Amino acid sequence: MKSCFIVLLGLSAIAFAQRPGWDFRKVVTNAPYSGIGVTTSKRTLSDGNAINEASCSKVYRDSSGRTRREETRNSASCSATPDTIPISDPVAGVRYAINTENKTYLQFTIQAPVSRTTPGARTRPANPNEVRTSLPASVIAGTSFNAENTQTVTTIPAGKLGNAQPIVITSTRSYSPDLQIVISSTRSDPRSGVTTYQLSSISTAEPAAALFELPAGLTLEQGPSRRGRRAP
């Protein structure tokens, strides 16, 4: 069970880092918020069968940059008990990964970011098959902030991947520069289907401090881990 939890944690950490608006490595201060994020995906197989998946997360960040995410898998609502709760506290230099079913947790030390000086800013080479368009800004519901909206259309030329016809991938993104989070996004790819993300019930009030503390009654998962350590 322990090794299974560690594997799931590793996969979850990758998934969290890839999710819009959620990156353990990034610390944002003086921009508290909370909200409910829903990620959905829909794929249609060659035989017409459809696969629909969804996950829901309650997300929190305080003015010190501490974050908490209550993740409920296989559900478009956050009504059920969350499967996992990662808490990141850059102030204390610690991160927790809570397994709510087993009432256990893993503890990790947060490494301070290394400052590097580069000769000049590196930019990604322009993709001649990518067209990015700025869309009109929109007001973020529940806040006084605006969101920057963009659409990106990427075309994979015929023959590039063995494809007989060009593959067109369309993505949209609504981003808040004030909160430094993605409010919504969509990605439509003929190869993998349509994936959407929507953050709603957004509040910019300061979340309760207790949300970022390790709850009582949990047992520390013992054993070696490349990134984890035993609690003192």
Residue 65 backbone zone (phi > 0: left; psi -120 to 50: alpha; other: beta): left
DSSP 7: H
Contact predicate 84/105, CB 8 Å? no
> Given pLDDT bands bounded at 50, 70 and 90, which one contains residue 120?
low
First vs last Cα of the chain: how many Å apart?
A: 23
pLDDT in tens, 121-175: 567 788 899 999 999 999 999 899 999 999 999 999 999 999 999 999 999 999 9
> Given pLDDT bands bounded at 50, 70 and 90, which one contains residue 231?
very low
pLDDT at residue 4 in the model: 43
Burial (CB count within 10 angstroms: exposed 0-12, middle 13-18, buried 19+), residue 225: middle
Does residue 117 register a pLDDT over 70? no
Delineate the domains of the chain, giving CATH numbers in brackets: 2-112+127-220 (2.50.20.10)
Residue at token pair 């015929």: 158
pLDDT at residue 6 in the model: 40
Return the minimum-mean-pLDDT range out of 32-41, 52-61, 68-77, 172-181: 68-77
pLDDT at residue 3 in the model: 42
